[in-house]
Structure 1
C-alpha cells in the first residue's frame, strides 16, 4: 500500500489490489479532430498495477500519480514521463451517495496522457455521473475515451467482463512464493525514500515543509542539497535559499543534471562561505553561480582573477558617492526636502558604478553623511 500525504494535511492509504506483467498494446491520440493509433510501443513489457477503490477525488488521484512517479524516478526504475508513455493511467470512476458503502457501476477512462489530463478527465466524469443519477438514470458501465484537445469524454464501448476478454490463467506458469526473508533482503538495499527524507529535512535541518517538499521532489536534487549542507557546515536554510531560487532556476533554464553540474555542492558551499566572510556581497554571489557553472573554476579563483571582492574602503566608496550626487542634483534636492526613499536609488547608483563590488552598508552610511553636509 501507499501512504499518501495530501496537501490539505491528511493521509490516504492506497492499496495495491493486483500487480502483473503485460505487453503494451499501443495507444490512441486525438489530433485536430483526427484519431491516430500509435503502435510504436506494441509488445514492450510493462507492469500493470491495479489499486483498490481508495481515492476519493480527482485531486487525490493526481496526487497519487505524482507520488508514484516520484518513487519510480527515485529508485531509478523509470523516467515515468506520461507524455512519452513511460507511465500510463486508466482511471475507473464510480460515485455513491454520502454515507453509503455501495458504489454505483464504474466507468473506465482511457487515453489520458498527463497527470493534469487524469485530474480533468476524472472530474468531468464525476460531474457527468452525478447528473445522470440526479436525473433518475442509471450509470452504465462504459469504457470512455478522453479527448484532451476538447476536454471531453466520449463513449468507446460498453464495458467488457472477464468472459468478454476470453480471460483465463496461463496453466504453464508456476506459482511464485515469496517469504519475509526475501522481502527483508530487498528492503535492506533500498535508499531512504522521498517522504522519509522530506520529514528528516524538516526535523534535522529545520526547513519549512515547502522547502523540504521541493528539495525532495527528485533524488539527485535532494542529494545535491544535502552534500552542500555538509560541505558548508552552517545554517542549512542558507543553502536551501540558494537551492530554491538561483540553483533551481539555473537547472531549469539550462536543462542541467544536478549530479553533473560544474557548480558542485562544494562550490555552492564555498560561495555562501565567501558571503559569510564579507568577501563578496549577494549581488556578486548570484553572478558567481553562473560564472562557476560556465567555467568550472572554483569561486575563490574567479573572485581573485576578476577582482570581484567586496570594496569596503570608505575613501573609494566616498569618491564614487560624490560623483553620483554631483550627477543627480534634482534627486539630491528632493531627498533633502523629505523624499528619503531615494536613498535606495542612490545606493543602487553607487553599486552600479562600482560593478556591484561596493559594500552596500558602507555606501549607505557614506551617502547619508554626504547628504547631511
Structure 2
C-alpha cells in the first residue's frame, strides 16, 4: 500500500528521506514489510506513522492494519509467556476488622526490667571525681615546693656567680673590741669579749668577714697645668670612607638557538568525483576538535537542497547521520558546522550530498577526519 501510494504520487525514496529524515533502507523495509530490519518495534511504529502521514494517509489506520496483520503471530509468540496467561480467579476477601483479646499486663515495672547500668556508671563517675580532688589536695604542697625550688635554681643559674657570703659564727660581736692588725690591746679586748660572751650565753651570731678582697678604686691621674703658650691639640675629625657595594652577577640572556620551528602540514582537500559537490575543508585525515566548520561547494543546475552527514569509521560501515544542510546553493563557503565534543575520539567520515529537483543527486563527496578532543 505504501509503495503504490508513493509511486502514484511520483515521489522517490530520496525525496521521502530528505523530507522525513528516515533512511531509505528503513523506508524500503516498511514497504516490503521486513520489520526485522527496523531498529525496533517502537521506533518502527514511529517510522510507519510518519511515512504514512507524509504520503497523505491516516497514520492511525495504517498502524491498525499493521496490528491486525501481525496479531495472530503476536498471540502465538506470547502464548508461552506471562503476557499470554489468563488472570487468576477472584476470591472473596473479608476486610472487616476482627475482635482480638488484649493481654492483661501487671501494674508497676517488673523487677527484671530495672536496669542498674546507668546507676553504676554515675556512682563510678562520682568516685573518680572524689579521688581526683583528694589527690590534688594532698600533692599540692610538694608540687608547689618543687616548683618554687626549680624557679629559684633557674634564677640563680641565669643571674651568674655572686659575691661570697659571710660566715656565721656562734658568739657575741662587739664592734669596740675589734682590734686592727698589729694593735696592743688584744688581751684586754679578748677578756672583755669573753666576759660579754659568757654573759649573753652565745645566743647572738657573729658575722666574720671572709677573705674576699675589697676592690680599690684606681688612683686618679695627676693632671699637670699646661703652659699658657701651649696650644690645645684639636682631635682630628674622623672621615667616613664609603664601602663599595658588592657587585651582583646578572646572567646574560640565553641566545636563541637555531632550532627550526616545525611548519604545520598542509591541508589536503579530498578528491571529489563531481565538481558540484566538493568539500575543501577539513582535509583528508586532518585531526580536528571542538566545533569545526565544513567548507566547500554545493551547486546544481536544478538545485533543491544539500545535506551534510557523518559516520563513525573511515569506511562508514555503520551508516551516515544527518547534522547540517540548507535549501540554497553554496559556492566556496561555509556549508555547516559539526560539534565534535559530543562524539567519541576516533576516525570519522563526513559526506556532502547535493539533491536536484527530481530527487536524484550526483556522486557525494566524502572526507575522512580524526576527532581528538
Q: If the length of structure 2 is used for normalisation, what is the TM-score?
A: 0.15
Q: If the length of structure 1 is used for normalisation, what is the TM-score?
A: 0.15
Going by fraction, where is helix more abundant, 1 or 2?
Answer: 1
